[in-house]
Amino acid sequence: MDRPAPPPSELLEIAIDVARDAAATAYRMRIEGVSVAATKSTVTDVVTAADRAVERQITDALRRLRPGDAVLGEEYGTADGGTTDAPARVRWIVDPIDGTVNYLYGLPHCAVSIAAELDGAVVAGVVRNIHTGEEWTATAGGGAWRAGERLRCSTETDLGQALVITGFGYDARRRAHQARVVAELIPYVRDIRRLGAAALDLCLVAEGRADAYYEKGLAAWDQAAGGLVAAEAGLRIGGLKGLPPGPEMVIAAPPALYDPLHEHLTRWDAAGGP
Ligand code: LIP
């Protein structure tokens, strides 16, 4: 018999407590001084000692609070929970420091992102800005919130008046393709912003501090919590050509802007390239 499913509110409380402690560690290590500990896909895809320490802290706390759950983290991958006969129903998806390059440079746009999946669907998430303490939360069906205020996305209906956030990958060939796409798009929107942390970008769009977001190349940990916040704030989330949001493309836009933005991104093969 399946074990009882924990309510999303219970998972969210755990995520918030763990994220707050993790963000405090990240901030302390930033003040003490950080440097590059390693690189991943390219020489600009960096990992700091803080990324690793914070993920270990988060994973240890989740294991203590929710023994038997699975964890997927950016730096250490998957730690399976459960047993062969009874696989874990809850999987935590963790980005210890989203916006690592911003963190390395001391730019205040980086966050701890923790999401809880129940039976394969994200049901709770928190994104906490390491520098400002701004904290976005959401539960499936329970809305998106910051500082006690329920979030509603932009009501903009004209793409030409839309402030659009995007991002670029670490591979030079992919960045060249993404630059061509944004060069084609920019005459059709109010303006473009590139802030460097997908989780926070999705939260800013969730509360209307930008109108829409798109990016190719996101991992699950970049978008799991921020994507729930965005969806619960009324944004339509998807990929190109009817695909779900994923590494090929994530679009987050108000219903009135989604199709016009999707059309432009499809025309310029925004999900293509290396
Ligand atoms: C970052 C994303 C950002 C993207 C960066 C990078 P990281 O994640 O949050 O949206 O544009 O290239 O992938 O590497 O800082 O965890």
Confidence of residue 46 (pLDDT cuts 50, 70, 90): confident
- What global pTM score does this model have? 0.96
Residue 191 identity? D
Q: Kindly give the distance from the C-alpha atom of residue 100 to the centroid of ligand 1, in angstroms, as a whole number.
A: 7
In tens, the pLDDT along 212-270 reads 999 999 999 999 999 999 999 999 999 999 999 999 999 999 999 999 999 999 999 99
Report the C-alpha gap between 51 and 41 in whole angstroms: 16
Question: 113 and 212 in contact (C-beta within 8 Å)?
Answer: no
Question: 162 and 189 in contact (C-beta within 8 Å)?
Answer: yes
Question: 41 and 13 in contact (C-beta within 8 Å)?
Answer: no
In tens, the pLDDT along 114-134 reads 999 999 999 999 999 999 999
Buried b (16+ CB within 10 A) or exposed e, 37-68: eeeeeeeeebbbebbbbbbbbbbebbeeebee
Burial class (CB in 10 A: 0-12, 13-18, 19+), 24: middle
Question: Could you identify the atom of ligand 1 that is nearest to the CA of residue 218?
Answer: 13
Give the tokens for residue 94. 């963790």
Mean pLDDT of 1-18: 89
Domains and their CATH numbers in the chain: 8-150 (3.30.540.10), 159-267 (3.40.190.80)
Q: Which active-site residues does the annotation give?
A: 74, 95, 97-98, 100, 222
Ligand 1 within 6 A of CB of 95:
yes
3-state SS, residue 198: helix
Q: Kindly give the distance from the C-alpha atom of residue 168 to the centroid of ligand 1, in angstroms, as a whole number.
A: 8
Report the C-alpha gap between 237 and 222 in whole angstroms: 14
pLDDT number for residue 2: 61
Question: 116 and 229 in contact (C-beta within 8 Å)?
Answer: no
